[in-house]
Amino acid sequence: MTMDTVQPTTLILVRHAESLWNSEGRVQGQLDAAITARGRDQAERTARRLAAAEMSAVYSSDMSRATQTAQPIAAPHSLELQIRADLRERSFGILEGKTMDEAARDDTGWFQAWRADRLRLAPPDGETQPEMAGRTMAALRDIAARHPGESVAVVTHGGPIKSAVFTILDVPLSSWMRTWIANCSITILRAAPRLLQVVSFNDTSHLDPEPTPTWRTSDIGEPS
């Protein structure tokens, strides 16, 4: 099979369900927090939405808020989760586990500088948004290459999903705050050898009631 005849892969990106730290407004990044009762309901609704879809694999970030969301999605298809650490949320370093108010109160000089350019700069011991975008796109391209012509679900985080969409559409980082990725929303990509396309974005039609943001996007710039 030549590159020109390889069938595109459908990547069904799902942001994890609401976690405890989402509900508390804490920066999660690469620290772990379990999903809430509301999150479990969101995950079940998402699983029912995707139960009839043809699906050959379910991938998940190794964070528990992602795996707890992915397990109900995989179950109707009798698929085992394939866990990948490179699907994690952006690392926010010493900011993780704190609210923005707590970080500002504990600032040792880095916080205000980071907050002024929080996408291009990293908190101490953290990761920049371009670094996250690079790892996310490498992971998604690898997954697509493993499943030519198939549909796969990828349960990950708000930052990686938004990074993928921005990269594919060549949207500047200055527009980052103008989009929102809801918990358990569905974003669909089509991946061919020479082309990545956004098919749908932040679909929440399977969630009732319509979700409202549980993250202060004006403070952090992305849900985690």
Condensed to tens digits (0 to 9), the pLDDT of residues 56-86 reads: 999 999 999 999 999 999 999 999 999 999 9
Distance CA 17, CA 184 (A): 5
Instruction: Give the strand pairing for 81-84 and 195-203.
Output: unpaired
147 is catalytic: no
The whole-model pTM stands at 0.91
At residue 210, φ and ψ (nearest 5 deg) are -55, 130
Tokens representing residue 187 in the block: 């974003």
Percent above pLDDT 70 for the chain:
91
Contact between residue 156 and residue 132 where contact means Cβ atoms under 8 Å apart:
no
What CATH number does domain 3-220 carry, 3.40.50.10320, 3.40.50.10470, 3.40.50.880, 3.40.50.1240? Answer: 3.40.50.1240
Q: 18, 89, 96, 222: which is the annotated catalytic residue?
A: 89
Retrieve residue 30's tokens: 């690469």
Return d(Cα 122, Cα 129) in angstroms, integer.
8
24 part of the active site? no
Taking only the tens place, the pLDDT of each residue in 161-176 is: 999 999 999 999 889 9
Of 16, 18, 96, 127, the catalytic one is 16
Name the band, by pLDDT with cuts 50, 70 and 90, for residue 223. Answer: low
Residue 30 has pLDDT above 70, yes or no: yes
Integer CA distances (angstroms), 38 to 23, 41, 106, 211, in order: 10, 5, 31, 10
Q: What is the dihedral of CA 132, 118, 62, 24, to 10 degrees?
A: -160
Residue 6 in this model has a pLDDT that exceeds 90: no
C-alpha angle 186-224-69 in degrees, rounded to nearest 5: 50
Closest CA to 213 of 175, 176, 183: 183
